[in-house]
């Protein structure tokens, strides 16, 4: 279960509200209360909600209803206020949490019982020395040291010491929680995960828009912004830090905990996020050959990054792999566990930049493809993020060109999100609306029309849409998708050439990224975006960067493993690969339909 | 030579001005221009001074005069302004600088030539990785890392890297100075020494009152102040830090250098100064059993202490030995080199707190005696610091009780400083004015009189004094000196008992502290303050804490040596030694005159 605080306003339907917050249920009844896949547990604020409907009485037991279970599609806020909800773990985890591999609990920080003996004439050792020797430690956080004389003379005689390696971070009354945070800093979204480090349990999750978007939608515009003046990078650092602190406070509040009990943070992100959090100049990432400033793993005091946490807490930042393959890709690798698998494995983390990792035998390759924001609905005429009402799957009847589609949450369509776009393009091609070069054919249907000289296909008419206009895919949209999928395909081809393997050699294909399981893999393979492998060899990881970060939070040995891997991953700069250009041009076309 | 900037006002005589700044010349002609021992070199501001006198024309050669040499007792400022002077090293070094032992140059930071190759498609390593591997280093200061992408792309192709162990602290254009600062933080005075770390040369010195005196004259009152409220310790830290920064800027300015070129600082001081600089609670030092918070050597980024220095610079703080035996005593030990001598050695650093170190064979003992501020003229009716006009030596004719004295700078007497007090008490005792218990005897001289029921002895009549009144020593003053000298004597006796040695076993006695060579050792031994050893076995170290700090700045191996020593020094808490009480009571009396 994942706990969540939600502010509602009178009239909000919870399904819609949650979808807009990024929490999309795998429901398939169109929000009509028939499939029961949007079950949620209302912990606080039940009195704000409408009474259970007939559908809920049919699908939920009496015990469940009296315990606070509801269907998100049926519950409507009758007045404004705050709710605390729990969402079932399994339905939620893929998109927001990603899939964690099994991991032994062995965190960087541990709590140690301590009996404090007050100084006496018989024991004139320094305060610090008495503590260190009783714990077998060899250093102490300076802020703890500053308070130590008071703590030892006025504190309780029994205490818990928080120890990290040989360093004592804090001394505090016994019985308090020992927490860690994993943070996945995306270009657009930040997700924070609060973990109980005594038992390894995920306690709560919070996520929000990355406040840096105010200074540029994508990373190149943020780099450009940072180079406008000396205070701009500081601005990027500051808002990012503030955004992270807000999420840490939120996640702690959801779990009834305090940021003061968080003694370890693991932060992953692309290299621009990594550098801007640390306040490192982005200049090297903005100019060819796009080298990062550092690829060293860093552990720094959380306070030195301005992050709120317990006294002496550290932030661990796994190494970036290259300028455009960040520590989030390394976290993907950790989450996939593919480094422990034999044979040939590929991992594709699809986003505005798509990172591809290929393992063949003991060797690793990585590259980054500028796949662009088309899959997030940007630069697409009727594009949309994956929110309620976005068309997420499309079927087209060959011959009649009639359209069937589904939308997120079953609402009236408002636009098309990434998985819908891939589906539509694959269906267009299969139905003969596109030729192999991606050119639209003027097939005989009123849905295919020309507007201001440009061909477009109507997926949904204004009459059936919630957008107030026809929802279309234009020739220009097709070109955007072609550019995106060609970049990914060409990247994977170049890596496979480096490794001397072909698609048929791939034993396991991991798909990571916000798409999650909403991606129609058959369509992605049909348009040539992913290597064609049997579906049984595909694993969806969801937001695996967050999952990998949590695994490194729980097990410090995995960090050493990840750092070792990072050193041995061969980064392939596609810009200098002649093959990439050729593959890219080839990959713009669609594969033959038999393939 | 030591360089010094001095602000003068019209009418100032330089000898007087310098004496008031603590720069006392060993002149013995009373400032009449006859002995030539106050020679100074005027580098800037000659035009502000009076023309050379007949005496100067007689004692200085034509070349010296045209080069800017003057006698400080003759030169008078004709108008206000700034002078830059150089004082001869030998006359000055003992009091302000202390005596350094021989030391090989092996500083913590070194400059390494670096050829910067700009990143290229053929070399996609991270900026940091390219620098680290070319230097064989393994980490980099985070602030340097923040600027690195800009530095490598816009800086010069040839540069100098400042490397400390495996860490790169800075990268900068070649040819700039590489400097270090040694700082001796006294309760009353701070002294800062600027050292060229390429050649090991002392470039300049600056010193000033410790600004913490505004919150308490002695350390106990500062501890009490710090416990008045949560912001008080911060106040103590802040003013101390600001005071140190001012001295660093001054010392750099004198040498025409910049604090940005200072890459290493060594700071020594008593444990209260050490803790308050670090912002560590003083609570443990204010309450029995007076344990320090830490006795671990610390190296922290100068910026984390708010100290001005070059990018990435470290501050090294040698370990305190105990609550009232600070890292300044450890620096004394380093400066004396006594740890390398065979036999039995004692070091006495005389001040408000007097630290005593005893070495016998391979074993070390240390203690701290509350000798009080009497030797600095405090709590003495006509007491004075060692400034111009202070009586610094006294002779009394037995029988006639006639007095001969000298004053600092030969001026009319204004009071009595520490060495004069010790001299006077010894002479009183020898002349029979005091009995062995320290009681004044009403001998037949108008100089011995009773005022308001208290006996006092007139050293200088108002008519000959510059103070406008008689300069006297009262029975109460004698008691203060007795308490002070008894504390020191009892401390040294307890240490000798621990070691099983007597005064006759002492092969070398080191005297450190502001007294310097102005202390009349024979008098100090006559009143029993110091163990009686042949004068050939006594060495004056002057301000050896500053000297020891400079030695640890120049040679990093000496730090390991000092840390090792600190661990093995047995601290003796006199408060719990029954013998101390007995010795103290016995030591209040004066030794028999035959001794």
CA of B245 vs chain A CAs: smallest distance (Å): 21
Cβ atoms within 10 Å, residue B368: 26
B594 pLDDT higher than 50:
yes
Hey, of B116, B123, B124, B140, which one would you mutate to test binding to chain A, going by the most A CBs within 10 A of its CB?
A: B124
The whole-number pLDDT of residue A593 equals 75
CA of B576 vs chain A CAs: smallest distance (Å): 7
| Chain B residues in contact with A321 (beta carbon < 8 A) | none
Q: Using CB atoms, pick whichever of A121, A148, A293 lies closest to residue B126.
A: A293
Burial track A450-460 (b if 16+ CB lie within 10 A, e otherwise): eeeeebbbbbb
The helix/strand/coil state of A152 is: helix
B516 pLDDT higher than 60:
no
Q: Which residue of A has its CA nearest to B145?
A: A280
B530 pLDDT higher than 50:
yes
Cβ contact, residue pair B119, A291, below 8 Å? yes
The helix/strand/coil state of B19 is: helix
B353 pLDDT higher than 50:
yes
* A398 vs B411 pLDDT, higher one: A398
The whole-number pLDDT of residue B87 equals 77
The topology (CATH level 3) of A2-87 is: Ubiquitin-like (UB roll) (3.10.20)
CA of B288 vs chain A CAs: smallest distance (Å): 8
The whole-number pLDDT of residue B90 equals 44
The whole-number pLDDT of residue A24 equals 62
Our CA angle for B177, B179, B184, nearest 5°, is 160
Strand B167-172, strand B179-185: pairing: unpaired
The whole-number pLDDT of residue A95 equals 55
B95 pLDDT higher than 60:
no
Concatenating the DSSP letter of every residue in A179-216 gives: EEEEEEE-SSEEEEEEEETTTTEEEEEEEEE-GGGGG-
First to last CA, chain B: 42
* A487 vs B102 pLDDT, higher one: A487
**B184: nearest Cα among B114, B270, B311:** B270
Cβ atoms within 10 Å, residue A207: 24
**A268: nearest Cα among A289, A310, A297, A248:** A297
CA of B569 vs chain A CAs: smallest distance (Å): 12
B477 pLDDT higher than 90:
yes
Hey, of B131, B145, B279, which one would you mutate to test binding to chain A, going by the most A CBs within 10 A of its CB?
A: B145
The top-level CATH class assigned to A179-317 is alpha beta
- The domain locations on chain A are 2-87, 109-172, 179-317, 342-595
Cα torsion for A515, A517, A518, A522, to the nearest 10°?
100
Asked if A199 and A181 touch (Cβ cutoff 8 Å), the reply is no
B289 pLDDT higher than 90:
no
The whole-number pLDDT of residue A26 equals 60
B517 pLDDT higher than 70:
no
The whole-number pLDDT of residue B135 equals 95
Share of chain B above pLDDT 70, in %: 95
Beta-ladder partners of B40: B70
| Chain A residues in contact with B323 (beta carbon < 8 A) | 124
Concatenating the DSSP letter of every residue in A485-518 gives: HHHHHHHHHHHHHHHT--GGGEEEEEEEETTGGG
Going across the sheet that includes B158-164, the strands are B109-115, B158-164, B167-172, B139-140
What ipTM is given for this predicted complex?
0.78
Q: Which residue of B has its CA nearest to A147?
A: B281
* B535 vs A447 pLDDT, higher one: A447
Cβ atoms within 10 Å, residue A412: 12
Most confident region among A167-171, A584-588, B335-339, B372-376 by mean pLDDT: A167-171
Interface A-B, measured as beta-carbon pairs within 8 A, has a size of: 139
CA of A290 vs chain B CAs: smallest distance (Å): 8
The whole-number pLDDT of residue A283 equals 92
The whole-number pLDDT of residue A449 equals 95
Check whether domain B342-372+482-587 has CATH 3.30.420, yes or no: yes
Q: Which residues of chain A have pLDDT under 70?
A: 1-2, 19-30, 88-98, 514-518, 594-595
Q: Average per-residue pLDDT in chain B?
A: 90
Q: Using CB atoms, pick whichever of A153, A289, A300 lies closest to residue B142.
A: A300
Q: Is A474 left (phi over 0), alpha (psi -120 to 50) or beta?
A: beta
Q: In whole angstroms, give the CA distance from residue B435 to residue A446.
A: 127
B379 pLDDT higher than 90:
no
Burial track B470-483 (b if 16+ CB lie within 10 A, e otherwise): bbbbbbebbebbbb
* B554 vs A575 pLDDT, higher one: B554
Cβ contact, residue pair B126, A575, below 8 Å? no
Fold equal for B2-87 and B342-372+482-587:
no
| Chain B residues in contact with A291 (beta carbon < 8 A) | 119, 124-127
- Spatial neighbors of A423 by CB under 8 A, at least 6 apart, are A392, A393, A394, A395, A520, A523
Going across the sheet that includes B179-185, the strands are B201-209, B189-196, B179-185, B262-269, B314-317, B298-301
The top-level CATH class assigned to A109-172 is alpha beta
| Chain B residues in contact with A142 (beta carbon < 8 A) | 278, 300, 304
Instruction: List alpha helices for B279-342, DSSP H.
Output: 283-286, 327-336
* A488 vs B33 pLDDT, higher one: A488
| Chain B residues in contact with A279 (beta carbon < 8 A) | 146
SS3 content of chain A, % helix, strand, coil (to 5): 35, 30, 35
Cβ contact, residue pair B575, A121, below 8 Å? yes
- Spatial neighbors of A428 by CB under 8 A, at least 6 apart, are A396, A434, A440, A457, A473, A478
First to last CA, chain A: 42
Cβ contact, residue pair A152, B284, below 8 Å? yes
* B37 vs B133 pLDDT, higher one: B133
B11 pLDDT higher than 80:
yes
């Amino acid at each position: 279960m994942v706990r969540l605080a939600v502010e509602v306003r009178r009239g909000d339907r919870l399904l819609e509200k949650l979808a807009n917050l990024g929490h999309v249920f795998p429901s398939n009844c169109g929000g009509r209360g028939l499939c029961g896949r949007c079950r949620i547990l209302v912990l606080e604020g039940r009195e704000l909600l409408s009474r259970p409907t007939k559908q809920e009485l049919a699908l939920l037991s009496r015990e469940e209803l009296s315990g606070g279970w509801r269907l998100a599609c049926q519950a409507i806020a009758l007045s404004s206020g705050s709710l605390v909800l729990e969402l079932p773990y399994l339905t939620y985890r893929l998109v927001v949490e990603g899939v964690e591999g099994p991991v032994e609990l062995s965190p960087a920080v541990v709590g140690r019982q301590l009996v404090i003996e007050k100084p006496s004439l018989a024991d004139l050792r320094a305060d610090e020395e008495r503590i260190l020797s009783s714990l077998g430690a060899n250093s102490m956080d300076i802020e703890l040291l500053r308070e130590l004389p008071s703590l030892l003379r006025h504190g309780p005689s029994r205490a818990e010491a928080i120890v990290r390696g040989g360093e004592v971070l804090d001394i505090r009354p016994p019985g308090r929680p020992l927490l860690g945070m994993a943070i996945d800093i995306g270009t657009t979204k930040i997700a924070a995960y609060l973990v109980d480090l005594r038992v390894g349990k995920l306690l709560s999750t919070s996520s929000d828009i990355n406040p840096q978007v105010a200074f540029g939608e994508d990373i190149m515009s943020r780099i450009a912004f940072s180079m406008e003046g000396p205070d701009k990078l500081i601005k990027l650092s500051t808002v990012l830090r503030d955004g992270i602190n807000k999420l840490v406070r939120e996640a702690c509040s959801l779990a009834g905990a305090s940021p003061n009990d968080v003694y370890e943070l693991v932060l992953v992100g692309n290299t621009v996020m990594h550098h801007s959090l640390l306040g490192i100049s982005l200049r090297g990432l903005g100019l060819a050959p796009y080298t990062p400033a550092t690829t060293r793993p860093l552990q720094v005091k959380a306070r030195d990054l301005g992050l709120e946490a317990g006294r002496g807490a550290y932030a661990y930042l796994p190494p970036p792999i290259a300028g455009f393959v960040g520590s989030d890709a390394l976290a993907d690798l950790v989450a996939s566990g593919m480094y422990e698998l034999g044979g040939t494995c590929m991992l594709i983390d699809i986003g505005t930049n798509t990172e591809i990792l290929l393992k063949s035998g003991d060797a690793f390759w990585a590259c980054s493809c500028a796949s662009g924001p088309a899959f997030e609905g940007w630069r697409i005429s009727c594009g949309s993020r994956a929110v309620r009402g976005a068309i997420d799957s499309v079927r087209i009847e060959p011959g009649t060109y009639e359209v069937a589609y589904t939308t997120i949450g079953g609402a009236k369509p408002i636009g098309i999100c990434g998985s819908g776009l891939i589906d539509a393009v694959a269906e267009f091609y299969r139905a003969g609306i596109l030729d192999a070069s991606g050119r639209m054919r003027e097939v005989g249907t009123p849905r295919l029309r020309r507007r201001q000289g440009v061909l477009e296909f109507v997926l949904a008419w204004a009459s059936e849409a919630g957008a107030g206009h026809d929802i279309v895919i234009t020739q220009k949209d097709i070109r955007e998708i072609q550019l995106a999928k060609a970049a990914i395909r060409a990247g994977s081809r170049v890596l496979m050439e480096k490794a001397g393997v072909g698609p048929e050699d791939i034993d396991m294909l991991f798909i990571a990224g916000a798409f999650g399981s909403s991606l129609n893999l058959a369509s992605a393979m049909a348009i040539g975006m992913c290597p064609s492998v049997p579906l049984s060899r595909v694993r969806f990881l969801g937001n695996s960067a967050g999952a990998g970060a949590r695994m490194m939070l729980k097990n410090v040995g995995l960090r050493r493993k990840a750092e070792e891997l990072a050193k041995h991953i061969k980064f392939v700069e596609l810009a200098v690969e002649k093959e990439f250009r050729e593959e890219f041009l080839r990959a713009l076309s669609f594969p033959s339909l038999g393939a």
